[in-house]
A and B are shown apart, each in its own frame.
Chain A
Amino acid sequence: MTNAKLFAIKYFNSTTLRLIYILLALLALALAGGAPDGYSGSG
């Protein structure tokens, strides 16, 4: 339990959440503007 708490304190801070947000936003921007032949694993 303590280890989980330490892990959470170390990695789930505002910088990590902001990084996830930036990466998701960049992916969304690329995918929404792009038009390759597949968005799933098939392409």
Chain B
Amino acid sequence: MILIAAVLCAVLIGLLRGGSLQRLAHLPLRWGWVALIAFGLQIYLIYFPEPVGTGILSLHVGVLICSYALVFGVVWQNRALPGIWLIGIGFLSNFAVMMLNGGYMPITADALAQVGHSRNILSPEIGARVRATKDIVLPRDQTIAWWLSDIFVLPPPFPIPSVFSVGDVFIALGAFWLIQHGMGLGNRITRAVRRD
């Protein structure tokens, strides 16, 4: 939800800054349909979580790896667009920590409790899946590269309580930059940077 909000905020801020939806419609995004397929594959993973402990060679993790390969393809095809490299760094960061921890994004039970999502943990074991996510519950001391996992907590009263990773931050920033550029505001940003 936090990434959906980031994309929608980017469009809204773009409109408030005088950007154009018509220009955004003509953003030369290549392989957009591949991104839709990649997310479609992940819907299966997110909404039909498998039992705990099947490891990195399971069907679910295979689907995840395929979807990430498609996502990397989209990033590569659009590498000339502003902001895409930030999105690519975010993907790499998330992908790395997930592969290092059995194929899923580690999150601590404490972080889930802080945002009131403990009810979504599917079982009491360490490594349990979390409903409607790519997450597994792992204690901090059992998480490899913990600093790349879901560590940032936006607790209530924030309107969208959420836990997210440094990779998600990069993706949100990259999407923001890309959308601002697509709405015709990219040159203004570049000019402002040059003036400074």
What is the interface of chain A, defined by CB distance below 8 A to chain B? 15-16, 18-19, 21-43
Residues A40 and B32 in contact in the complex (CB < 8 Å), given A33-B68, A35-B167: no
Cross-chain pair count, CB within 8 angstroms:
151
Q: Please determine whether A22 and B24 come into contact, CB atoms closer than 8 angstroms.
A: yes
Task: List residues of chain B with CB within 8 A of the CB of A37.
Answer: 107, 111-112, 115, 117, 130, 133, 135, 150, 162-164
Chain B, residue nearest A27 (CB): B7
Task: List residues of chain A with CB within 8 A of the CB of B3.
Answer: 27, 30-31, 34, 36
Task: Confirm or deny: B105 has a beta carbon within 8 angstroms of a beta carbon on chain A.
Answer: yes
Q: How far is the CA of A32 from the CA of B3 in the complex (A)?
A: 10
Task: List residues of chain A with CB within 8 A of the CB of B178.
Answer: 26
Residues A33 and B11 in contact in the complex (CB < 8 Å), given A18-B25, A27-B4: no
- From B35-43, B48-56, B184-192, the one touching the partner chain is B35-43
Given contacts A34-B167, A37-B130, 17 further A-B contacts (CB under 8 A): A15-B26, A22-B24, A26-B29, A29-B71, A30-B7, A32-B39, A32-B70, A33-B87, A33-B91, A34-B3, A34-B94, A35-B94, A36-B168, A37-B162, A37-B163, A40-B1, A43-B163
Chain A, residue nearest B30 (CB): A25
Distance of B100 from chain A, by nearest CB (Å)? 13
Q: How large is the interface on B (under 10, 10 to 19, 20 to 34, 35 or more residues)?
A: 35 or more
Interface of A (DSSP majority class): helix
Task: List residues of chain B with CB within 8 A of the CB of A21.
Answer: 32
Task: List residues of chain B with CB within 8 A of the CB of A40.
Answer: 1, 132
Q: Kindly list the 5 A-B residue pairs having the minimum CB-CB distance in the complex, ordered from nearest.
A: A25-B32, A19-B25, A28-B39, A35-B105, A33-B91
14 contacts between A and B (CB under 8 A): A18-B26, A19-B21, A27-B7, A30-B3, A30-B172, A32-B39, A33-B90, A33-B91, A35-B168, A37-B107, A37-B135, A37-B150, A38-B133, A42-B1
